Amino acid sequence: MPLIKSPHLAPRGRPADSAMPRPSDFTLRLYRVLDQVGPTLAMVAVWILFAVLGRDSSFATWANTQTILLQTAVIGIAALGMTMIIISGGIDLSAGSMIARPRASASPGYAAW
């Protein structure tokens, strides 16, 4: 059975090297740097956005920044653990409940504290 040729499909095989321009060394270095520090830059950009758009100045305080960092640390550690589980080929959906259970158990004590 012959294959139907379509102008929308890419040809089989690898295109000639002249058809695909090679990225410059600067572009490759920029991609490497953004790959490493991109998430941190995104977090800082979101923090700046909320600090500028906030109606009062309570967001851009050291206490609020410290709270944000402390809250994201718990999720970050759990995400690293889940990454290892997923990379190894398994999947475990109980990690979220293992994080939520101690917090829910300790929450009545926070009211008295």
Rounded-to-integer distance, Cα 33 and Cα 37, Å: 6
Give mean pLDDT, residues 4-9.
55
- The DSSP output letter for 93 is T
Q: Is the pLDDT of residue 14 over 70?
A: no
**99 token code pair:** 């994080």
Tell me which of 13 and 105 has the higher pLDDT. Answer: 105
Domain residue ranges in the chain? 23-56, 61-105
What pLDDT does residue 77 have? 87
pTM equals: 0.49
Give the pLDDT confidence of 34-88 residue by residue, as tens digits: 888 988 899 899 989 988 888 777 888 899 889 988 888 888 888 888 888 888 8
Rounded-to-integer distance, Cα 19 and Cα 17, Å: 5
Residue 52 in contact with residue 60, Cβ under 8 Å? no
Show the CA angle centred on residue 12, arms to residues 8 and 13, nearest 5°: 135
Kindly report the average pLDDT of the chain as a whole number.
Answer: 79
